[in-house]
Amino acid sequence: MKHFVVGVLPYLTFLILVFGLIYRIRGWYASKVKYQLNLFPVPDTPGGEILKEILFFKTLYRFERPLWVMSYGFHLGIFLIVIGHIAGIAFAGHQFTLFGATPEQSEKLSFAFGMLAGTLAFLGALALLLRRLSGQIKQVSDPWDYIDLLLILVIVTTGNAMRTLAPVELSTVKKYFADLFSLRPINYELPDAFVLHYFFGQILLMYLPFSKLLHLAGGLINKAITLTGDGKAKLLRL
C-alpha cells in the first residue's frame, strides 16, 4: 500500500490532474453562448481594479466583512502553503539562504511560515465549514461543499501534525521527488506520517479538476469570455 502511494499513485495523480484540467478548461471555452447575455456594453474595467479583486477580495471586503476574514485567511494560508511546499521541498528548507539567511535561520523561518500558513488555512477552513452548517447557508449547501472543506481540513491537519509532532527530513523528501521525476525506483522507507499526508494531498489533486474548488480559474475564464454589444464573444483584457 505504502509503495503504491509513493511509487505508483503520483504518476496517476499527475495524469488525472493534467488531463482533467485540460478537459474542464476546454469544456468552458467550447460551451455555446446562444443568446446575448449582457444588457450593456462590456465595461472596460482597468487592470488595477481586477488585480485588487484577486489580491484582496475587494468586493467581499466592502460588502461582507465577516466572510472576508474567514475567506481571506483561508486563501492566504493555502497560497502560502503552495509557495512553501514548492520552495521548502526544492531547497530542503534552505530557501531563505537566497535572501542572506544562514541555513539554521532559514530552517527557523521555514518553520515559522509553515506554522503561520497551516494555522491560517486550518482556522479559515474550520470557520467556513461552521458557517455552512448554520442558518440560510446550510439550505443552499450541497454535500460536495462539505466534502471539499473536510478533505482540505484532513490534509491541513495531517500536515500540521507532521510538522509539529513527527517532522520529516525535507532533504529526504527532496531526494524522493528527484527519484520520482527521473523514474528511478523508490526502494527506501518514507515516514508513515508523510505517506498519510501525501495520500490525502494526492486525492485532492486528482479531485481538483472535477470539483467546485476550481472556481478561481472558472471565474477568471468566465470574466474573460464575455459578449460584446454586437453579440460576439470577446476575450476581455484581464
Nearest to 73 by CA among 118, 131, 7: 118
Give the separation between CA 37 and CA 118, rounded to whole angstroms. 41
Rule CB under 6 A: is residue 71 a binding residue for ligand HEM? no
Options 91, 128, 190, 197; binder of ligand HEM; rule CB under 6 A: 197
Options 127, 156, 206, 213; binder of ligand HEM; rule CB under 6 A: 156
User: Minimal distance in Å, beta carbon 202 to ligand HEM?
Assistant: 5
Amino acid at 126: L
Residue pair 170/88 in contact by the 8 Å Cβ criterion = yes
User: Which residue shows C-alpha cell 477580495?
Assistant: 57
Rule CB under 6 A: is residue 170 a binding residue for ligand HEM? yes
Q: Give, as ranges, the residues between 107 and 136 that touch ligand HEM (CB under 6 A).
A: 114, 117-118, 121
Residue pair 121/74 in contact by the 8 Å Cβ criterion = yes
Give the separation between CA 194 and CA 176, rounded to whole angstroms. 12
User: Which residue shows C-alpha cell 488595477?
Assistant: 48
User: Minimal distance in Å, beta carbon 83 to ligand HEM?
Assistant: 9
Identify which of residues 76 and 227 has a Cβ nearer to ligand HEM in the complex. Answer: 76
Options 20, 73, 159, 209; binder of ligand HEM; rule CB under 6 A: 159
Give the separation between CA 221 and CA 235, rounded to whole angstroms. 9
User: Minimal distance in Å, beta carbon 75 to ligand HEM?
Assistant: 11
The contact mask relative to ligand HEM for 79-108 (x = CB under 6 A, - = no) is --x--xx--x--------------------
Strands (E) located in the chain: 225-227, 233-235
Residue pair 93/110 in contact by the 8 Å Cβ criterion = yes
Alpha carbon distances (Å) from 172 to 41, 132, 179, 237: 56, 39, 11, 44
Which region, judged by CB under 6 A, interacts with ligand HEM, from 36-44, 133-141, 202-210, 224-232?
A: 202-210
How many residues bind ligand HEM (CB under 6 A)? The answer is 26
Options 202, 206, 208, 209; binder of ligand HEM; rule CB under 6 A: 202
User: Minimal distance in Å, beta carbon 193 to ligand HEM?
Assistant: 9
Question: What string of DSSP letters covers 86-107?
Answer: HHHHHTTT-GGGGGT--HHHHH
User: Minimal distance in Å, beta carbon 33 to ligand HEM?
Assistant: 34
User: Minimal distance in Å, beta carbon 24 to ligand HEM?
Assistant: 18
Give the separation between CA 54 and CA 83, rounded to whole angstroms. 17
Which residues of the shown chain bind ligand HEM in the complex (CB under 6 A)? 81, 84-85, 88, 114, 117-118, 121, 152, 155-156, 159-160, 162-163, 167-168, 170, 173, 194, 197-198, 201-202, 204-205
